[in-house]
Chains A and B, each alone.
Chain A
Amino acid sequence: MEADWSELNPRERQRARFQRLLAVVDPPFESRAAAGKYRTGVERLRDSILLDNRSGVVPILPLNQMFPASHAGISFQRAMYDGPAAYGAWMRYLDDFDPDYYLGLDMASSGGLLDILGCRLYKWPGGGLSSGASYQCVDREWMKAEEYTELLADPSGFWLRKYLPRVFGALAGLASLEPLVNIMELPPLMPNLASWGRPEVQEGLQVMMAAGREAWSRMELCREFNRRAQARGALVAWGGMSKAPFDLIGDTLRGAVGMVRDMFKQPEMIVEAAERLAPLMVRMGLDAAESSGHPLVFMPLHRGDDDFMSEKQFEKLYWPSLKKVVVGLVEEGCVPLLFIEGRYDSRLDYLRDLPPGSTICLFHRTDLGLASEKLAKIACIGGGVPAATLLFSTSDEVAAHCRAVVEQYGPRGGFILAGDSVLDRCPAENLRAMLGANRRGAPGPRDADLY
């Protein structure tokens, strides 16, 4: 990064990150056509975020997480356990569909990694589910209602000594570790370090090392895939991931029922914990964006929708910390890509508070017309292709539907045609129809120059 990064404003930082994305020279592009495809793809995405895509061609992003596996005819279990097979399937996806943007090979994760860890947090094909199932989270109270104080006092310590041993059975021994801050000076050094020598802790550390080796190895494959894809002119959809703090607590720690109880019995603890976790979520997204060199940070939003909580609860429990994370990432030049599950019709006025030209909001059940209107000059929006359309319609129907959506929302200057939900299987011809949806249309009015 430039030496004077601290002197750049958020807009300049965003520009710098996209310039970095455009300036890649390694690996060399396979052809001039690939170089042009890549450049156009990055610029189109950048301009859409800036609400200034006047090309008449919108970015298209199917959320086809494990589709490459099903398209290649390998089971999801094989994709998770056989890295080279997954690599081949994802490469075939690039061959057969030539997308501008794709969901990375890391979406297939590693079954081996989950086995090493003795994962209890998920069930997956080959790990409690049949070979054709998708991996899914096990909803449970992994943190007790009375443990908020401990989490707040030392999130990392809680993670190391309570959370990880609970969700990964093979790390149970780490619960015997004493706080890291106890390791200091003399004479307390030896007695306070001794817990690291406990047999169960040593076992846990061995598991961490094995898990680290597996994760590193599989990520090397993912990085190599991204290099090959880039050489062919395709751009991975995002560089990292983060979470809304409320969802981090609800999905990862307290579980749905536990979170509901907290909403009634101790909402002030949710607020305090969300506030405490917000900077950590900024850090998580920023670290990944830095490491990957890609400014987009994917943030799936689960529980803030119109059906799950009242507007009052959203305003108090969900929005403030989410906004902190989004703004924190934007200030560093990253682009939060909010994947908003459920309906957000009554939340759109809150999203109007987002920094203009700095975020992407992909919608699931929200009224896209209403979102387009409310977020004009604020956010790039996306969606418009229901899963049922991709699954059950003919390819002509998919093509007509997608063209209509593009023609309706493309002129706003910031629109991404996307699936409204994760899709692991669909007819190949329907996906092709979606990817071919762009038609030249009249460019929309130019918004204020945001650069």
Chain B
Amino acid sequence: MPSKLSELLTDLKEDEALEFVDRQLAAGGDALALLADAREGLKEVGKRFAQGLYFIPDLIYSGEILKQIAEKVKPHISPEAGANDKKLGKVIVGTVEGDIHDIGKDMVVFMLETAGFEVIDLGIDVPVRKFVDAITETGAEVVGLSGFLTLAFDAMKRTVQAIDDSGLRPKVKIMIGGGQIDEDVLKYTGADAYGKDANEAITITSQWLGG
């Protein structure tokens, strides 16, 4: 049975959702539970997107609402409680070198976070080396390469190659995504999978890491 907050978020009722959170927090409500309810709402948004009932703006808007809810509840979450919020696994995401498009990447980031993964967002125009270093530093087992331009194909290929050259390739699965990605691009880059939208990125990651 969906909670009141998850329903409000699923229905993209921003003002009502934020007022609900304010009232709950004022009444001493459980901040972590509120965040969990909000994430459930996001999951339903993802389902509606997959069904063709919601579109990209709905995903983006729901993410904006969740961000505001997270800002409200954050001060009420103790560091210990936050640490106990178990994650399903770590995923590194970034827009590859030479490309500064971030809308698609940001959608993947917040949907992965909603689904319970810990996401290391490297940002945009990410140098090849930074992906390699991030894998070493975080131990992430999944890497998501985003790129909108056709020039991104070469940057994705170089990034996959660099991960391979550093001996880390057997330890990670690599997915790619963006406006021009298809099977031919996947083969060219040497990545393991591609997602045509943020939902598919979650599906692929879940298959690799569980969730």
> Whole-angstrom distance between the alpha carbons of A400 and B184 in the complex?
17
Interface size class of B (residues with CB under 8 A): 20 to 34
- B122 smallest CB distance to A (angstroms): 16
Which residues of B sit under 8 angstroms from A393, Cβ to Cβ? 184
The reply to whether B98 and A388 contact each other, CB–CB distance below 8 Å, is no
The reply to whether B60 and A388 contact each other, CB–CB distance below 8 Å, is no
The reply to whether B103 and A256 contact each other, CB–CB distance below 8 Å, is yes
The reply to whether B151 and A424 contact each other, CB–CB distance below 8 Å, is yes
Q: Is A55 interfacial (CB-CB < 8 Å)?
A: no
> Whole-angstrom distance between the alpha carbons of A134 and B100 in the complex?
10
The binding surface of chain B is classed by DSSP as loop
The reply to whether B184 and A389 contact each other, CB–CB distance below 8 Å, is yes
Q: A134-B149, A136-B101, A388-B180 are in contact. Are A307 and B60 (CB under 8 A)?
A: no
The reply to whether A392 and B188 contact each other, CB–CB distance below 8 Å, is yes
> Whole-angstrom distance between the alpha carbons of A138 and B60 in the complex?
18
The reply to whether B182 and A129 contact each other, CB–CB distance below 8 Å, is no
The reply to whether B12 and A264 contact each other, CB–CB distance below 8 Å, is yes
Which residues of B sit under 8 angstroms from A341, Cβ to Cβ? 179
User: Could you tell me which residues of chain B, from 86 to 103, have a CB within 8 Å of some CB in chain A?
Assistant: 97-103
The reply to whether B57 and A309 contact each other, CB–CB distance below 8 Å, is yes
Within 8 Å by CB of B197, from A264, A307, A392, A423, lies A307
Q: Is B153 interfacial (CB-CB < 8 Å)?
A: yes
Residue of A nearest to B185 (CB): A388
Query: Would you give the 0/1 interface string for B128-154, flagging 1 where the beta carbon is closer than 8 Å to chain A?
Result: 000000000000000000000111011
Residue of B nearest to A308 (CB): B56
Which residues of A sit under 8 angstroms from B100, Cβ to Cβ? 123, 129, 136, 138
User: Could you tell me which residues of chain B, from 13 to 58, have a CB within 8 Å of some CB in chain A?
Assistant: 14, 55-57
- A69 smallest CB distance to B (angstroms): 12
The reply to whether A424 and B55 contact each other, CB–CB distance below 8 Å, is no
Q: Is B64 interfacial (CB-CB < 8 Å)?
A: yes
The reply to whether A260 and B64 contact each other, CB–CB distance below 8 Å, is yes
Query: Would you give the 0/1 interface string for B169-211, flagging 1 where the beta carbon is closer than 8 Å to chain A?
Result: 0000000000110101101100000000100000000000000
Query: Would you give the 0/1 interface string for A418-430, flagging 1 where the beta carbon is closer than 8 Å to chain B?
Result: 0001111100000
The reply to whether B150 and A264 contact each other, CB–CB distance below 8 Å, is no
Residue of B nearest to A424 (CB): B151
Residue of B nearest to A257 (CB): B60
Which residues of B sit under 8 angstroms from A280, Cβ to Cβ? none
Residue of A nearest to B97 (CB): A130
Q: Is B113 interfacial (CB-CB < 8 Å)?
A: no
Which residues of A sit under 8 angstroms from B182, Cβ to Cβ? 386, 388
Which residues of A sit under 8 angstroms from B55, Cβ to Cβ? 307-310, 313
Q: Is B164 interfacial (CB-CB < 8 Å)?
A: no
Q: A260-B64, A309-B55, A425-B151 are in contact. Are A391 and B188 (CB under 8 A)?
A: yes
Which residues of B sit under 8 angstroms from A424, Cβ to Cβ? 149-151
The reply to whether B150 and A423 contact each other, CB–CB distance below 8 Å, is yes
Q: Is B118 interfacial (CB-CB < 8 Å)?
A: no
Residue of A nearest to B60 (CB): A260
- Residue of B55, B101, B185 contacting most chain A CB atoms (<10 Å): B55
The reply to whether A134 and B98 contact each other, CB–CB distance below 8 Å, is yes
Within 8 Å by CB of A256, from B60, B98, B151, lies B60
> Whole-angstrom distance between the alpha carbons of A136 and B96 in the complex?
14
The reply to whether B103 and A387 contact each other, CB–CB distance below 8 Å, is no
- A218 smallest CB distance to B (angstroms): 23
Query: Would you give the 0/1 interface string for A295-322, flagging 1 where the beta carbon is closer than 8 Å to chain B?
Result: 0000000000001111001000000000
The reply to whether A387 and B98 contact each other, CB–CB distance below 8 Å, is no
- A125 smallest CB distance to B (angstroms): 9
Which residues of A sit under 8 angstroms from B188, Cβ to Cβ? 388, 391-392
> Whole-angstrom distance between the alpha carbons of A386 and B188 in the complex?
15
- B115 smallest CB distance to A (angstroms): 20
The reply to whether B98 and A129 contact each other, CB–CB distance below 8 Å, is yes
> Whole-angstrom distance between the alpha carbons of A136 and B124 in the complex?
12
- A344 smallest CB distance to B (angstroms): 14
Residue of A nearest to B127 (CB): A130
> Whole-angstrom distance between the alpha carbons of A389 and B153 in the complex?
13
- B177 smallest CB distance to A (angstroms): 13
Q: Is A113 interfacial (CB-CB < 8 Å)?
A: no
- A138 smallest CB distance to B (angstroms): 7
Q: Is B125 interfacial (CB-CB < 8 Å)?
A: yes
> Whole-angstrom distance between the alpha carbons of A129 and B124 in the complex?
11
The reply to whether A130 and B64 contact each other, CB–CB distance below 8 Å, is no
Query: Would you give the 0/1 interface string for A103-132, flagging 1 where the beta carbon is closer than 8 Å to chain B?
Result: 000000000000000000001000001101
Q: Is A160 interfacial (CB-CB < 8 Å)?
A: no
Query: Would you give the 0/1 interface string for B67-100, flagging 1 where the beta carbon is closer than 8 Å to chain A?
Result: 0000000000000000000000000000001111
Residue of A nearest to B155 (CB): A133
- B155 smallest CB distance to A (angstroms): 9
> Whole-angstrom distance between the alpha carbons of A98 and B66 in the complex?
54
- B156 smallest CB distance to A (angstroms): 12
Besides A257-B103, A260-B61, 5 other A-B contacts (C-beta < 8 A)? A130-B97, A136-B149, A263-B57, A308-B55, A425-B151
B residues with CB within 8 A of A? 12, 14, 55-57, 60-61, 64, 97-103, 125, 149-151, 153-154, 179-180, 182, 184-185, 187-188, 197
Instruction: List 19 A–B pairs whose Cβ atoms lie within 8 Å, in order of A's numbering.
Output: A132-B98, A132-B151, A133-B99, A134-B98, A256-B103, A257-B60, A257-B64, A259-B57, A261-B64, A264-B12, A264-B14, A264-B57, A308-B55, A309-B56, A341-B179, A388-B182, A389-B184, A424-B149, A425-B154
